[in-house]
Chain A
């Protein structure tokens, strides 16, 4: 199984930039696509897709969110951070079955 590693928590001030990383133990690129996706989850809610295929903004997601990376190293950036962004962020790979998620990064405000 592909293992995704995220830092457990990140504290950022309002209006600043948050950068959340996700590292995999195997390459998730295939035929020109990076099969890495990002979700936001707030307590008691289902995950919400933010970014798909590493850098594509999902429908209805503000442009403050962006994603980049390839191979085994990926980042989700939120710039500028707003109060409503406090949540847990998960990366997920769909290069190989079983599809797997990172442990999540909890974003908090300073």
Chain B
């Protein structure tokens, strides 16, 4: 079955960067799209961007351009998201999710809490 396993919680200092991972199994990663989302606890969900694993092509929400960088490693069926120049406003739960097309998300990672604090 499809599984998306995200890396563990992160505590990072302001100004630092963090790289989150999303290891997948159960489907053909190399021809799929992966999206990433941000959710501040108690708030709604924001779409950060997506990456096509076939060629690494990306699309970003303008709000997150310069903040998030999406990459993939097809050899390990893993997607990554780099978050840079972190501030307290980046403290949130981040999810990866897989879409088979049409822009709805059947499969989600369990989420990872990123806390930015000195």
Contact = CB atoms under 8 A, between A and B. Distances in A.
Interface of A: 33, 35, 37, 39, 45-49, 52-53, 58-59, 90, 92, 94, 97-104
Given A90-B44, A90-B45, A98 B63 contact: yes
Contacts, number: 54
Interface in B27-74: 35, 44-47, 59, 61-63
A52 B104 contact: yes
A58 B44 contact: no
Interface of B: 35, 44-47, 59, 61-63, 95, 97, 102-106, 108-111
A35 B103 contact: yes
Contacts of A99: 35, 47, 103
Contact of B104 (A45, A49, A100): A49
21 contacts: A35-B102, A37-B103, A37-B104, A39-B105, A45-B110, A46-B97, A46-B111, A47-B95, A49-B106, A52-B102, A58-B106, A92-B45, A97-B59, A97-B61, A98-B63, A99-B47, A99-B103, A101-B46, A101-B47, A102-B44, A104-B44
A49 B44 contact: no
